[in-house]
Chains A and B, each alone.
Chain A
Amino acid sequence: MTHWIANLATSRPRTIYLFVALLTLGLGLQIPSIRIDTDPENMLPQDQPDRAFHNETKKKFGLADAIVVGAVNDDDPEGIYNVRSLAAIHRVSQEILKIDGVVRHDLMSLSVVDNVSQDGAGAISFEWLMHEAPQTGKQALAIREAVERLPLLMNTLVSGDGKAAAIYVPIVRKDQSYRISREIEQIIARSLAGSGATDSYHITGLPVAEDTFGHEMFVQMGISAPLAGLAIFLLMWFFFRNAALVVAPMIVAMATVISAMGLMIGMGFTVHIMSSMIPIFLMPIAVVDSVHILSEFADTFQEGDDVGVAIRRVVRRLFRPMLFTSVTSTVGFLSLAITPIPPVQVFGIFVGFGIMLAFLLTIVFVPAYIVRMSPAQLRALQKSHRGQGKPGMLSRLLPPLGRFSTANAVKLMVAFAVVFGLSILGLSRIQINDNPVNWFKSDHRIRVADAALNRHFAGTYDAFLVLRQHGQDAYQQFSGQAEKILARARLAGVDLDAIGWDAAARTGLDDPGEQLDAMVTGLDDALFDAGDAEIPYLEDLLASAEAAQSQAKYFQQPEAVRLLETLQRVLADSAHVGKTNALPDLLKTVNRELLGGMAADFAIPVTTAGIAQTLLVYQSSHRPRDLWHMVTPDYRSAVIWLQLRSGDNQDMSEVMARLDAYLADHPLPAGLSSRWAGKTYINVVWQDAMVAGMAKSLLGAFVVVLIMMIVLFRSFLYGVLAMLPLTITITLIYGLIGWIGKDYDMPIAVLSALTLGLSVDFAIHFLERARAIHHETGSFASTMKQMFKEPARAITRNTVVVAIGFTPLLFAPLLPYVTVGAFLAGIMAVSAIVTLILLPAMLSILRGRLLPETQGFVSASESHTGG
């Protein structure tokens, strides 16, 4: 097959050119239909149970994604409670309400919320808290006084220290948040200009973060990836000093990147943070194979040779190792497909596709390109290549390294064993943690806003604890009673069915609550038309239906509300929880104002009727709907909104563990269940899925690559040896992460599987070449001597190409990219070093079995220099 491919490439170079051009153009045309996806939620599949529940919770409780606008005043002694600051907040809020795409009725700001209080004459009053901006300092301070009496606003709309105020701007669609936040910025600038207010305004909130993230992703793809291309080009030019030659690998790299991205976009996949890194991963990997062909060709081609014959020979010789390194890298990336994280799967699959495409393009395009080079160019190539005769830095440094490795084999093995042991110890210290806000650099305006607002407020990270009553006792009890009443009626000769009192309930309502409601209405109507005989029975039925109805409204019962209050207290004990908001806060506030406003009356009403009536009073305010953010209208689900000071997964996990511990000792009543929702929780879920998934994919890839190695070398021992450098590298890198205390986060997790695919390449090349050379020389010593000439140089060179190729990521605006860049460079370096030190040492120890001295072979030919 190799023969056929090489023949085709060299005999029909124009066809190959056309094929590459059409492929690149065809797939590249898909790129303009790119759709960016920045929602961290998409780290989980759409139908993942936690995600589905999170979205169901958002819908059920009307919890729209919100942009958070914060105003901070550090100058005024009264903080934000001064006429100018409040006027500015008022003006900004009113203007925001005019923006298209804002959920107007759910906007939260001092100017649109209610104050429940006592008016002078002992009456309860629901008034807008700040319907008009205050005119005097006294009015401003009255607002402070009011806010401090309203636990649901305190530390949510105004900070506890009074220095900051917030406006929550719920938006209809997340993808509008960039435009809306821009409009808000303009509103703020307009409102502050000439107002005399000195407040500093911040805009944050997840929708803004996501949109900004999308923008910076484009920056990364538009700047970092081309920069990587440029860096690789310059580096290769430095190695080969021949522009015409270097163009070929660059074309391969470009065609690969464009085709892989085009295919991905064309197949309808969105570009997520992971897939936005595909270009920068493919570029260096795609170049590496071409470098092998070019080196080999430049080495072996003699003036006057037939170019076609020469290149065909090169392709035949390199086909197998190139195929294997490509396949192992592909396996490493494809193993990501078994993680349960869709963006990671897409990333793995399309990088895998790209690597195989790069391999294919390399073996067809590069030969076609070389065949079409003019004799003058070929001469220049040879000249520049051979001209490098004087020993470079690598030529000076590598041979001593080889001598050192083989001479100190046992010591080195012990040293590596110690390093390995320490790494394992480090692994056990790894801190699994992530926080998407920390994906921005610490001086980014989102991080600045986040820090400022969390300093003042109880916390801007949301989590929701949802409690749901599943019990059907009330309905079953009613059914039983109804049976008895109907039986009694029949006994007395009264046929209630003829009246059709439960017709409404028979119309196919699934929900028992709705059935009861319909039945109560039906009974009420029937009662009006009923005769004297039926009335007592209908009244009995109505009474027990209403009792069941009341009992079914679980969160109107005092013990249920007190349970919510207890859970709030348990959660608020955590240092990470700034504040919790739930139904008890609302009830206690309204109850206090009903009873006269004294602090002693800040309590939950003691009867179900008391609670129901207090809530009805609350619903006579300007914003009755706000109640449904805390409890559903059937009173069977309630939510506790937690404001967390940190979005760290670890901190959220601590809060979850705290609740679990409490519930272990104090189980929830029968029928009641609790479950988490909220972005901060979702992040924990996908991170857990990622950690478990990565372990599986790493293990899977390891086994597959090991088997491949055993097959490739047709030797179990060689196979194991080939896995050694990458094993050491992975444990060392991750052990180091454990030791230095860097959080194991999304980018770090993803790197494990790639490391495997990339660093096994070196071992393959090293062992394959060592074997081949030993086959010729029959001597371990001279094999090693040769190994540390051209082969070691090629490995080092490739390391440098790949490592440098990733360095533009270090200048990316988002930290995950920086992490990936730094770690990949580190991984490449470590695995190259481990390969060049450990493998010769191990070969030296095992030489009796692996590279035995054989007599009768001529000693080494040292013709293969350069490369």
Chain B
Amino acid sequence: MQAGLVASLALALLGVPVFSLAADLTDAAEIIQRANLAAYYAGDDGRSDARMRIRDGQGREQLRQFTILRRDREDGGDQDFMVFFSRPADVRGMVFQVAKHIDGDDDRWLYLPGLDLVKRISAGDKRTSFVGSHFFYEDISGRNPNDDHHVLTGSDAQSYVLENTPKNPATVEFKSYTVWVDKQTFLPMKIEYINEIGEIYRRMEVLEVKSIQGYPTAIRSKMNDLQGGGHTLLEFRYTRFDLGLPQEVFSERSLRNPPRQWLKRPSG
């Protein structure tokens, strides 16, 4: 989910001097592993308000506003998410619940107050749009690093450049994607998706990184649709990590009865 981790903190705890990061890594798997942790596993849990501005090729805008709660069962492993929608007003109260499994399909539920309905969402395809934005469901929950082959193809002063090809091409719409991982924070700062005919048709860019409670966190990022000409701007605010979220929050009960206490914006 929203970016942010650890690297420095974790390494500091292990007693490894931070400046040793300057020594370049050469193992693609290790870089991807760290990037996955940095982007999706900051802290043990977290909460954040999110706002999506979905702009189409004609410049017409739609807004989605929601609050995300996350709790890691294991660093780099299974996680629970809850997404509570607040805007537009007509979708207020909609909740999206995900139990992310590394070694199997995710479990996904949706609560629709307008139809008074809790509906399970089929495990199947994770590369569908996230509520009409240019981000995919998988961009929000994190693509399993084991789904791709990773090759380190280059690096410069700031980033490692990795090329990733799917192990099972039939399940995805891309032929490969290239990711630029920041050498300091290990946050993926740019991802370009390439289709069958070698065109870059989709590009994610991180626009702003902020250190929150010591975790470098991507608080503004943008997904560009290079074919249709639109983009979605995703902003995170009121982000907090290590809140001590109880596991009960991530239950079916919360669908109809949102845990107000954790949804409230932290002050300051």
Which of these, B56, B110, B127, B128, contacts A628 with CB under 8 Å?
B56
- Judging by beta carbons under 8 Å apart, are A553 and B90 in contact? yes
- A105: chain B residues within 8 A (beta carbon): 225, 227-228
Asked whether A546 is an interface residue with its Cβ less than 8 Å from the other chain, the reply is yes
- B57: chain A residues within 8 A (beta carbon): 62
CB distance from A616 to the nearest CB of B (A): 5
CB distance from B168 to the nearest CB of A (A): 11
Complex Cα distance, B227 from A55, in Å, reads: 21
Which of these, A119, A553, A556, A632, contacts B60 with CB under 8 Å?
A632
Complex Cα distance, B87 from A520, in Å, reads: 10
Q: Which of B111-119, B242-250, B251-259 contacts A (4 or more CB under 8 A)?
A: B111-119
CB distance from A583 to the nearest CB of B (A): 15
- A123: chain B residues within 8 A (beta carbon): 119-123
Complex Cα distance, B265 from A521, in Å, reads: 15
Complex Cα distance, B161 from A33, in Å, reads: 50
- B114: chain A residues within 8 A (beta carbon): 605, 607-614
Q: Which of A20-28, A439-447, A618-626 contacts B (4 or more CB under 8 A)?
A: A618-626
Which of these, B56, B128, B132, contacts A126 with CB under 8 Å?
B128
Asked whether A743 is an interface residue with its Cβ less than 8 Å from the other chain, the reply is no
Which of these, B90, B127, B128, B137, contacts A550 with CB under 8 Å?
B90
Task: From known contacts A517-B63, A628-B56, A633-B62, infer whether A613 and B115 are also in contact, taking CB-CB under 8 Å.
Answer: yes
Asked whether B24 is an interface residue with its Cβ less than 8 Å from the other chain, the reply is no
- A594: chain B residues within 8 A (beta carbon): 112, 115, 117, 119
- Judging by beta carbons under 8 Å apart, are B121 and A622 in contact? no
Task: From known contacts A521-B63, A620-B128, A633-B62, infer whether A613 and B112 are also in contact, taking CB-CB under 8 Å.
Answer: yes
Asked whether B104 is an interface residue with its Cβ less than 8 Å from the other chain, the reply is no
Complex Cα distance, B120 from A119, in Å, reads: 10
CB distance from A350 to the nearest CB of B (A): 39
Name the CB-closest residue of A to B60.
Answer: A633
- A122: chain B residues within 8 A (beta carbon): 120
- Judging by beta carbons under 8 Å apart, are B228 and A625 in contact? yes
Name the CB-closest residue of B to A547.
Answer: B89
- Judging by beta carbons under 8 Å apart, are B128 and A621 in contact? yes
- Judging by beta carbons under 8 Å apart, are B128 and A132 in contact? no
Asked whether B154 is an interface residue with its Cβ less than 8 Å from the other chain, the reply is no
- Judging by beta carbons under 8 Å apart, are B125 and A617 in contact? no
- A627: chain B residues within 8 A (beta carbon): 132
Which of these, B88, B112, B113, B124, contacts A617 with CB under 8 Å?
B112
Task: From known contacts A528-B265, A622-B125, infer whether A546 and B115 are also in contact, taking CB-CB under 8 Å.
Answer: no
Name the CB-closest residue of B to A618.
Answer: B132
Asked whether A124 is an interface residue with its Cβ less than 8 Å from the other chain, the reply is yes
Majority SS at the chain A contact face: helix
- A125: chain B residues within 8 A (beta carbon): 121-122, 124
A-B contact count (CB 8 A): 130
- A325: chain B residues within 8 A (beta carbon): none
Asked whether A35 is an interface residue with its Cβ less than 8 Å from the other chain, the reply is no
Mask for A682-716, Cβ within 8 A of B = 1, else 0?
00000000000000000000000000000000000
Within 8 A of A (CB), among B88-136: 88-91, 94, 110, 112-115, 117, 119-125, 127-132
- Judging by beta carbons under 8 Å apart, are B117 and A546 in contact? no
- A634: chain B residues within 8 A (beta carbon): 60
Name the CB-closest residue of B to A97.
Answer: B196
Which of these, B51, B65, B117, B131, contacts A595 with CB under 8 Å?
B117
Name the CB-closest residue of A to B110.
Answer: A617
Complex Cα distance, B88 from A556, in Å, reads: 12
- Judging by beta carbons under 8 Å apart, are B89 and A633 in contact? no
Name the CB-closest residue of B to A527.
Answer: B265
CB distance from B185 to the nearest CB of A (A): 27
Asked whether A739 is an interface residue with its Cβ less than 8 Å from the other chain, the reply is no
- B113: chain A residues within 8 A (beta carbon): 609, 613
Mask for B59-70, Cβ within 8 A of A = 1, else 0?
011110100000
- B123: chain A residues within 8 A (beta carbon): 119, 123
Task: From known contacts A609-B114, A633-B56, infer whether A622 and B129 are also in contact, taking CB-CB under 8 Å.
Answer: yes
Asked whether A127 is an interface residue with its Cβ less than 8 Å from the other chain, the reply is yes
Which of these, B115, B119, B132, B137, contacts A610 with CB under 8 Å?
B115
Asked whether A1 is an interface residue with its Cβ less than 8 Å from the other chain, the reply is no
Mask for B171-205, Cβ within 8 A of A = 1, else 0?
00000000000000000000000001100010000
CB distance from A459 to the nearest CB of B (A): 28
- B65: chain A residues within 8 A (beta carbon): 524
- A104: chain B residues within 8 A (beta carbon): 201, 227
Task: From known contacts A59-B58, A594-B117, A633-B60, infer whether A620 and B132 are also in contact, taking CB-CB under 8 Å.
Answer: yes
**19 residue pairs from A and B, CB less than 8 Å apart:** A97-B196, A119-B122, A124-B110, A124-B119, A124-B121, A124-B122, A517-B61, A524-B65, A556-B90, A594-B117, A607-B114, A609-B91, A610-B115, A613-B113, A614-B114, A616-B131, A620-B130, A625-B56, A633-B60
For the complex of A and B, the 8 pairs showing the least CB-CB separation, nearest first, are: A619-B132, A125-B122, A609-B114, A612-B90, A610-B114, A123-B120, A546-B89, A613-B114
* 9 more CB-based (< 8 A) A-B contacts, given A104-B201, A620-B128: A98-B196, A123-B119, A131-B170, A546-B88, A550-B90, A609-B114, A610-B112, A632-B60, A633-B62
